[in-house]
């Protein structure tokens, strides 16, 4: 069972993780095999609306944040990484 209050869009994920825009969420979705799969996809749109479980995304971010830390490798901040 999924609590509907836990469902979040890419925009909400970006806001909660402090990203500068939704593009980073889509980037991680396309390139990071550990990024959670969407729980639900609404395909009847020009661009599919994907909904994720916030607890899944939060757990992913926590492990990613932890992995990034280390000697010479600062942890990602609340704003997340930027793509140049």
For all residues of the chain together, what is the average pLDDT? 82
Torsion of CA 31, 34, 37, 3, to 10 degrees: -140
pLDDT digits (tens, 9 = 90+) for 58-72: 999 999 876 554 444
Q: How far is CA 39 from CA 1, 32, 47, in A?
A: 11, 17, 16
For the stretch 38-55, pLDDT in tens is: 999 998 878 889 999 999
More confident residue, 84 or 23: 23
Domains and CATH numbers, the chain: 4-68 (1.10.1660)
3-state DSSP assignment of residue 11: helix
What are 8's strand-pairing partners?
A: 52
Q: What is the pTM of this model?
A: 0.73
Strand pairing category for 40-42 and 49-53: antiparallel
């Amino acid at each position: 069972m999924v609590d509907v209050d836990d469902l979040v869009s890419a925009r909400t994920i970006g806001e909660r993780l402090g990203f500068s825009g939704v593009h980073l969420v889509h980037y991680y979705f396309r390139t990071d095999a550990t990024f959670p799969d969407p729980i639900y996809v609404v395909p009847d749109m020009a661009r599919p609306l994907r909904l994720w479980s916030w607890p899944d995304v939060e757990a992913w971010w926590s492990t990613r944040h932890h992995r990034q830390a280390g000697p010479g490798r600062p942890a990602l901040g609340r704003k997340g990484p930027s793509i140049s």
